[in-house]
């Protein structure tokens, strides 16, 4: 490979570990944005701020439709437990999803493409996106013009559940949409020694929790790619007090908006009936988050072909069910213009099987060189 290639990979790995040590939550990526912009300045790549902490940069911006490449930047409110040398120095905040690696990979791509900018067959837009973790960063980037002049976009996510270099990039649905719900169960509090004088919201909330688990298995088709998870149950102030209220919360995963509507209706219906059976009442609030991430067929085929050209056909045999039930705000980009989103396996047998959002997770740095080569090939250049 050319002399500058290893320098590019080393630069990106060091940058990734620096980001990992200094994570920032959604819409708080000020130091991350500054680091990205300083790196772009050093590479003499023009850029502008977009949606506050986001950045859009350009290569070969001489006119004509552009291809866009995206990397996300935000971290999660998780306390890291990896004990790596580059572990988070921000208590309670961690790059537990690999966005540090996604950002570093896009910067490596920027560096390589800049070295060969005169050979680019079309303009390239680089999108460094904030607030992917449930805070609609892609939507705000689009509103601020990130896709101006762009005809096609590509993105990716490392996926520890798949073998290293395996790619999942179907022609249509790749990741599900999501939403959240909260349920306030209202009873009548009192002394724990007199349950007959009370309406116990914990009993009603427990019955609701069990009933919600039957919706997917008994009210939807067995072929439906859907999940309902109750993830929070909060109630009570003292061991001798039956409380006045109990609170449930959870999330849903859906393949399309029709299924979302159906599931939300069923959650409300199923919650109210057990509550009423135990003399309580409940209030249900639904919050939509992201729609499903649905690839466009032609860009997805090109993404797979470029990966196959680089690493061989065997890496399409990932053996992982698709769609996965996680969600991505890359869906906003794919609703706006053609493009494709790929899941790329990171499990190389060296501890990179630990799932995203775990306090023990760490990004596999081997993916930086691989995905950089793929991004460059998508942009019309090769690393030889």
What are the tens digits of pLDDT across the range 113-128? 999 999 999 999 999 9
Q: Is 211 helix (H, G, I), strand (E, B) or coil?
A: helix
More confident residue, 62 or 95: 95
Instruction: Inform me whether the pLDDT recorded for 316 exceeds 70.
Output: no
β strands within the chain, DSSP E: 47-50, 54-59, 66-72, 124-129, 150-163, 167-168, 173-175, 177-186, 190-191, 227-235, 241-242, 245-254, 281-288, 293-294, 339-347
Looking at the chain, the whole-number percentage of residues with pLDDT higher than 90 is: 92
Between CA 183 and CA 22 the distance in angstroms is 36
Q: What is the pLDDT of residue 384?
A: 64
Between CA 120 and CA 241 the distance in angstroms is 70
Q: Is 9 helix (H, G, I), strand (E, B) or coil?
A: helix
Q: What is the pLDDT of residue 249?
A: 98
Model confidence at 1, pLDDT cuts 50, 70, 90, reads very low
Domain boundaries, the chain: 3-175+292-378, 177-288
Kindly state the tokens that stand for 249.
């919360």
CA distance between the termini of the chain = 5
Kindly state the tokens that stand for 262.
């159906």
Instruction: Inform me whether the pLDDT recorded for 318 exceeds 90.
Output: no
Find, among 299, 7, 21, 331, the residue nearest to 169 by Cα.
299
Between CA 214 and CA 247 the distance in angstroms is 19
More confident residue, 216 or 62: 216
Q: What is the pLDDT of residue 77?
A: 98
Q: What is the pLDDT of residue 27?
A: 98
Q: What is the mean pLDDT of residues 120-145?
A: 97
* Summary mean pLDDT of the chain: 95
Q: How many CB atoms lie within 10 A of CB 241?
A: 13
Model confidence at 290, pLDDT cuts 50, 70, 90, reads very high
Model confidence at 225, pLDDT cuts 50, 70, 90, reads confident
Find, among 18, 25, 22, 19, the residue nearest to 76 by Cα.
25
Q: What is the pLDDT of residue 321?
A: 85
Which pLDDT tens digit goes with each residue over 232-272?
A: 999 999 999 999 999 999 999 999 999 999 999 999 999 99
Q: Classify domain 3-175+292-378 at the CATH superfamily level.
A: Zn peptidases (3.40.630.10)
Model confidence at 26, pLDDT cuts 50, 70, 90, reads very high
**Which residues, other chains included, contact 362 with Cβ-Cβ below 8 Å and sequence gap of 6+?**
20, 82, 84, 351, 352, 354
Model confidence at 73, pLDDT cuts 50, 70, 90, reads very high
Tell me how long the chain is: 384
Residue 277 near residue 207, CB atoms below 8 Å: yes
Between CA 40 and CA 54 the distance in angstroms is 13
Instruction: Inform me whether the pLDDT recorded for 101 exceeds 90.
Output: yes
Enumerate the β-bridge partners of residue 128: 55, 71
Q: How many CB atoms lie within 10 A of CB 73?
A: 28
Find, among 270, 281, 288, the residue nearest to 212 by Cα.
270
- With 0-12 / 13-18 / 19 or more C-beta atoms within 10 angstroms meaning exposed / middle / buried, residue 293 is buried
The bridge status of strand 177-186 relative to strand 281-288 is antiparallel
Model confidence at 106, pLDDT cuts 50, 70, 90, reads very high
Give the neighbor-by-neighbor strand order of the sheet with 339-347. 47-50, 54-59, 124-129, 66-72, 150-163, 339-347, 167-168
| Domain 3-175+292-378 identical in fold to domain 177-288 | no
pTM over 0.75: yes
Q: Is 60 helix (H, G, I), strand (E, B) or coil?
A: coil
Instruction: Inform me whether the pLDDT recorded for 55 exceeds 50.
Output: yes
Alpha helix segments (H runs only) across 116-238: 137-143, 201-212, 215-219
Q: Is 312 helix (H, G, I), strand (E, B) or coil?
A: coil
Q: Name the CATH code of domain 177-288 (choices 3.40.50.2300, 3.30.70.360, 3.65.10.10, 1.10.10.60).
A: 3.30.70.360
Between CA 179 and CA 207 the distance in angstroms is 22
């Amino acid at each position: 490979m050319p002399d500058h290639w290893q320098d590019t990979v080393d630069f990106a790995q060091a940058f990734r570990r620096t980001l990992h040590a200094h994570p920032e939550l959604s819409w708080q990526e000020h130091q991350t944005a500054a680091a990205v912009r300083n790196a772009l300045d050093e590479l003499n790549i023009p850029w502008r701020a977009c949606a506050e902490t986001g950045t859009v940069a350009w290569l070969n911006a001489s006119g004509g439709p552009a291809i866009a490449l995206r990397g996300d930047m935000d971290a999660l409110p998780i306390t890291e437990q990896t004990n790596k040398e580059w572990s988070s120095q921000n208590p309670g905040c961690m790059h537990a999803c690999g966005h540090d690696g996604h950002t570093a990979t896009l910067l490596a791509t920027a560096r390589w493409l800049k070295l060969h900018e005169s050979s680019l067959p079309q303009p390239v837009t680089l999108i460094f996106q904030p607030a992917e973790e449930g805070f609609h960063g892609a939507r705000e980037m689009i509103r601020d013009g990130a896709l101006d002049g762009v005809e096609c976009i590509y993105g990716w996510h490392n996926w520890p559940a798949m073998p290293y270099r395996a790619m999942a990039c179907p022609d249509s649905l790749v990741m599900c949409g999501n939403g959240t719900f909260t349920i306030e169960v209202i009873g009548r509090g009192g002394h724990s020694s007199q349950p007959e004088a009370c309406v116990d919201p914990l009993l009603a909330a427990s019955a609701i929790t069990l009933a919600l688990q039957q919706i997917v298995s008994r009210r939807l088709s067995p072929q439906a790619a859907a999940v309902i998870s109750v993830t929070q149950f909060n109630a009570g102030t003292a061991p001798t007090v039956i409380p006045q209220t109990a609170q449930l919360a959870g999330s849903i995963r859906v393949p399309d908006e029709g299924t979302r509507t159906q599931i939300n209706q069923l959650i409300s219906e199923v919650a109210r009936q057990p509550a009423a059976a135990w003399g309580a009442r409940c209030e249900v609030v639904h919050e939509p988050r992201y729609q499903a991430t649905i690839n466009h067929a032609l860009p997805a085929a090109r993404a797979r072909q470029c990966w196959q050209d680089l690493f061989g056909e065997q890496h399409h045999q990932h053996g992982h069910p698709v769609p996965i039930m996680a969600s991505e705000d890359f869906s906003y980009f794919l609703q706006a213009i053609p493009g494709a989103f790929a899941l790329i396996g990171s499990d190389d047998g060296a501890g990179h099987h630990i799932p995203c959002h775990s306090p023990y997770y760490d990004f596999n740095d081997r993916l930086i060189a691989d995905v950089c080569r793929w991004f460059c090939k998508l942009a019309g250049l090769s690393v030889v």
